[in-house]
Every structure is written in C-alpha cells, then in structure tokens.
Structure 1
Amino acid sequence: MTEPRRGRPRTPLLSRESIVTATLRVIDADGVAAVGMRSVARALGVDAKSLYNHVDGKDGLLDAVAEQLLGGLVLPEPTGDPRRDLRAIAGAFRDRALAHPGAAPLVLTRQLSSLEGLAPVDAVLAVLLAAGASPDEAVHLLRMLLATLIGTLLREVSAAPAFGGDDGARHEVLRGSGLPAVAATAPHLAAFDREAEFEYTVDLAITAALDRLGRVR
C-alpha cells in the first residue's frame, strides 16, 4: 500500500468572493484601517502575493468590498411619487450601509464606476428627471442629497456612541458649559436617536430638493 505523499498543506482555493469575505472579517474585527494585503492573506491562510491574482492591492480590496455591499442593494420600484421614491432609496441605501457597520465608510465614500456603484446614482437621477429637473439641476440635487445622506450615515456609524446612550454626565457637562445656547438645548444635544435623526435629516433634504424643483420650473 502506497503511503500518501507528505508536503506542504494545500493552499485554499482563492476567488474574489473568498477574498472579499475575508476582508469583511478583518473589518468586522478590527475596522477598515486594519485592512491590508497581509492581514487579509493571514485571514485566508495564504501568501499575500497570491491575492494579486484577484485584486489590485489594498485599494482593490476596499473597492471589492464596497462593490459587494452595494451589489446587495435592492432598489425599490418607482411609484411616481418623488418624495416616496427618494425616501425609499435612502432607506434601502441605509440598510445596506449598516449591514456591516465597520465597512459603512467604504460604501459611503468609495467612488466607484462599476454597475454596483452607479445603480443608486441612476435611481436618484431617474426620480429627479421624472419630477421635472433638467439634467444639470438633477446632478446638483443628486450631489446635495447624497452629501446629506452620507453625512448622516457616517455620523450614525462613527459618532453615535459619543452622542447617544447619555447617562446624565454629558447632559451635565453641556448644561454647565457656560454657553447659553448649548446649555438651553443640553438635553437634546446629549441624546441621539438614530432613527429620528435619519428620518428628520432625509425628510428635510428631500423637501428642500422638491421645493427647489418647484421654484425652478
């Protein structure tokens, strides 16, 4: 009977999908700053050089993660009501961005030219154009809406712990700050309701966009 050959352990089969999955594990455990070819290779148990057959360095890793997360975005069917449609797109985008909170900055800030990156842009532009915006006005409004949405979501995933879950200490600091306006609003500044903040901010931005369209037509 022939004994099995001994040698190095078999290298796991690599694919773009397995690399993205490993990168997400690194992000979930240690954050985006921990992502690198070596850290992802360690998570996979392979040599870092082997990753280059599938991704183009660290930026390629980050783009691949953002594309995969955005690729799971389910855009709502348009109803013809611009307020409802823009609100539904914002909600779907938020759900996807928060699927992996540690990776949310990638979804929100990576500028992608792929289908995954452009699909949400196309959806918003379609609603604005259907609402009567000219192409240049639609782009201006798109950028305003995206900036507002990205800003509020980045605050939600990055700064919310500093604002929310107040145990009274922050309230007291704000109330005793010696700044009249800050002291007067201290209970509200110390609190942070993620859902309420998102709803208020998105509704205000959409109202501003639709009001703008009403004035320019």
Structure 2
Amino acid sequence: MTETRRGRPRTPLLSRESIVDATLRVIDAEGIAAVGMRSVARVLGVDAKSLYNHVDGKDGLLDAVAEQLLAGLVLPPRTGDARHDLRAIAGSFRARALQHPQAAPLVLTRQLSSLEGLAPVNEVLAVLLAAGAEAEEAVHLLRMLLATLIGTLLREVEAAPTFGSDDGDRRGTLAASGLPAVAEVAPHLARFDRQAEFDYTVELAITAVLDRIDLRGAR
C-alpha cells in the first residue's frame, strides 16, 4: 500500500539563479514587457512574494538577467592589434546578445554598476589606452563605440531595417518612388544582410577611432 504524504505541498527551492532562469523563459516566450513578479512566480510555481527574498521587484529581475547575460560574455584575449581586438570584442558582444534576442535590449541598454557590466568596458578601455589614447580621449571613444554597437544591435534584434527586406516588390516600390537618390540605390536599399551590416558598421567605427588616436598622437 502506497503511503499518502500529508501536509502542505513542498515549495520549490528558490535561488537567484532559478529566478533569473525563469525570467529568461518569460522573456524568450513573451518579451521583456511580460516580465513581472507574478509572471516569473507562475513559471516557478511559487507565490510572487517569495521572490522578494532574492530580487528587488521587477527592476531587480531585469538587472539580474542583464548581469547574468553579461557574465556569460566570453571576452577574447588581447593580441595587441587594436583593430583586431576591438573587432573581436564587438563580435563577442553580438554573439552573446543574440543568444536571447528578446532579452538583448537589457544587455544593450540597462545601466549596471556591477563587475559584469564593467568587464567589457574595461576591455575596450584597455585596448584604447594601449593604442595610445589618453585617458579622457579613451572615454569619449569608448562611448562612441558603445553607442554605435548598441545602435546597430538594437536595429538587428528590435527594429525592422531601414527599407531592407530583400523583397522584390520592395525593390520595385523604391525604384518607382520618384525620389532620384532612393531609386538609384533601390536594389541595395531593399536588401539587408544582418552580418554584413554589423561588420560594416563596426569596421567603420573602429577606423574612425584609430584614425582619431593617430591624429591626436601626430600633434
């Protein structure tokens, strides 16, 4: 005869890690807007109030997810070649962001003061300083590079590319727009290769940064 267990059902063990994993499941399935203490608690099968022992409300959930994603960022070893190193950091950042496209805006836009948030910043600054940038200039260049990287990745994961759909009808519409410049570039404007656009944008930004450092050093 099977013994019947009595008493209240066991509450699943909670940890910051299990809560972050549950939050990611909500984001992957429904997007960031669906995240809340109740939605995450439903995934875990617990009362929403129990989450407050580990995170401080919705903002705490979102910060925890961003920190975990950044903590999983594999930063490449520096080679001493500034162009190669900056390109490799950008590529690693993109690869990590695209592992959870719905959550990517958290990694790209959330202001974090943790070590996880500062690690990629430290790597970029180290490359810029080693390339000859002075401290203040390195900060300006860092911010420009981050703005460029964040912008191109947000476009990739969140927004439709400008006119780019690789659609024959779209090309025809652009060609017949009556706008001379648009019509001239219609075949290219209607096509959008995410990897190619990322590579082009990053390469252009890195070139601008290194040219700026060289220009300053020549004075």
Corresponding residue number in structure 1 for 2:67: 67
Report the CA distance between 1:201 and its aligned residue: 0.3
Quote the Cα distance in structure 1 between the aligned partners of 2:135 and 2:27.
Answer: 38
Contact 2:167 2:190 in 1 (8 A): no
Q: Which moved more, 1:28-37 or 1:152-161?
A: 152-161
Over 3 Å counting, the alpha-carbon distance change for 1:68 and 1:183 in structure 2 is same
1 CA distance for matches of 2:112 and 2:29? Answer: 25
2:69 touches 2:107 (CA, 8 Å); kept in 1?
Answer: yes
| Residue-by-residue CA offset, 1:140-177 (whole Å, 9 max, x unaligned) | 00000000000001111112477555331221222222
1:14-35 alpha-carbon deviations (Å, 9 max, x no partner): 1000001001100110111111
CA distance in 1, matches of 2:90, 2:52: 35
Measured in 2, the distance between the counterparts of 1:162 and 1:215 equals 33
Q: What TM-score do the two structures reach when normalised by structure 1?
A: 0.95
The worse-fitting range, judged by mean Cα deviation, of 135-144 and 158-167 is: 158-167
The percentage of counterpart residues that share the same residue type is 82
Aligned to 2:106: 106
Structure 1, unmatched stretches of 5+, are: none
Whether the 8 Å CA contact 1:171–1:190 is kept in 2: the answer is: yes
**Residues 24 and 103 in structure 1, CA contact (< 8 A), matched pair in contact too:** yes
Structure 2 gap ranges (5+): none
Query: Cα distance, 1:11 vs. partner?
Result: 1.0
The more displaced of 183-192 and 23-32 is 183-192
Distance 1:30 1:215 in 2: 48
Structure 1 residue 185: deviation in Å?
1.2
CA contact (8 A) 1:160 1:194 kept: no
- Partner of residue 175, structure 1: 175
Q: CA RMSD in A?
A: 1.6
Asked whether the 8 Å contact 1:66–1:110 carries over to 2, the reply is: yes
